[in-house]
């Protein structure tokens, strides 16, 4: 029986991956680079600093610090105006009887701010939120999920992880926990295949939160 759920944050609880894509696309196009917003899906689940590094290498951008600061300014402005929950996430969290946690490659302060913006913070205490700045290695390493498990004395066989990226799925599998892929967020465009989550080790895929409890009932 599944008693605990660890959610990824971006792209699972909040529909932020599409906003990050918008921020990067705006910056790249305004800077004269040939960049399609849909290309950003390959970076889903990665730390922003890693995305900056990858794009700097690809487009020969020399000043990574300026690149990072410019992106963060653009993204912060977009988030403050457009951040919403993924469809069905608020209702699911509000009505769930299971123990709920967050395991994310984002900063803890950013997660808490995002939770407050979308009115989810009342459902998650700070000790239920686990982030990359709390561990030595981010996803795809299992550290974030293992800390959530160990700190709360959870049983892996009674826990499931909800992820939207191959990086996150890989981390969950490495932690020895079953992972369900969720493709409800805006960055799951028609050119993106669910196979990337299955190939990374996801137990199954759901398109909306409304299907989650029926899947958990079979586990």
Give the pLDDT score at 188: 73
For 147-161, what is each residue's pLDDT tens digit?
Answer: 999 999 999 999 999
Residue written as tokens 């196979």? 195
In the chain, where the domains are located: 4-15+84-216, 17-82
Give the pLDDT score at 219: 87
How many separate helices (H) and strands (E) can be counted in the chain? 9, 6
For 50-105, what is each residue's pLDDT tens digit?
Answer: 888 888 888 888 888 998 899 889 988 888 899 999 999 999 999 999 999 999 99
74 strand-pairing partners: none
Among 1.10.10, 1.25.40, 1.20.120, 1.10.150, name the CATH number for the domain at 17-82.
Answer: 1.10.150
Residues 6+ apart with CB under 8 A from 8: 45, 102, 103, 104, 161, 162, 163, 164, 165, 168
Topology at the third CATH level for domain 4-15+84-216 = Rossmann fold (3.40.50)
Residue 20 predicted with pLDDT over 90:
no
For 105-150, what is each residue's pLDDT tens digit?
Answer: 999 999 999 999 999 999 999 999 999 999 999 999 999 999 999 9
- Is 211 or 46 the better-scoring residue by pLDDT? 211
Please report, for residues 9, 33, 44, 49, the alpha-carbon distance to residue 61 in angstroms, rounded to integers and kept in the order given. 29, 10, 21, 14
| 150 secondary structure, DSSP code | H
């Amino acid at each position: 029986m599944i008693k605990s759920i660890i959610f990824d944050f971006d792209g699972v609880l909040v529909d932020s991956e599409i906003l990050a894509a918008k921020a990067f696309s705006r910056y790249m196009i305004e800077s004269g680079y040939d960049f399609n917003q849909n290309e950003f899906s390959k970076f889903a689940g990665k730390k922003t600093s890693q995305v900056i590094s990858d794009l700097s290498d690809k487009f020969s951008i020399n000043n990574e610090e300026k690149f990072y600061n410019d992106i963060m300014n653009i993204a912060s402005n977009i988030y403050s105006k457009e951040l919403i929950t993924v469809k069905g996430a608020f209702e699911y969290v509000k009505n769930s009887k299971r123990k709920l946690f967050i395991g994310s490659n984002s900063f803890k302060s950013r997660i808490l701010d995002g939770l407050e913006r979308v009115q989810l913070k009342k459902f998650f205490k700070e000790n239920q939120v686990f982030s990359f700045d709390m561990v030595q290695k981010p996803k795809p390493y299992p550290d974030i999920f293992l800390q959530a498990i160990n700190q709360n004395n959870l049983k892996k066989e009674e826990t499931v992880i909800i992820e939207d990226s191959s990086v996150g799925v890989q981390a969950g599998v490495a932690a020895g926990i079953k992972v369900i892929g969720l493709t409800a967020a805006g960055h799951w465009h028609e050119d993106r295949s669910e196979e990337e989550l299955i190939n990374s080790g996801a137990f199954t895929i759901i398109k909306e939160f409304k299907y989650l409890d029926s899947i958990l009932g079979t586990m």
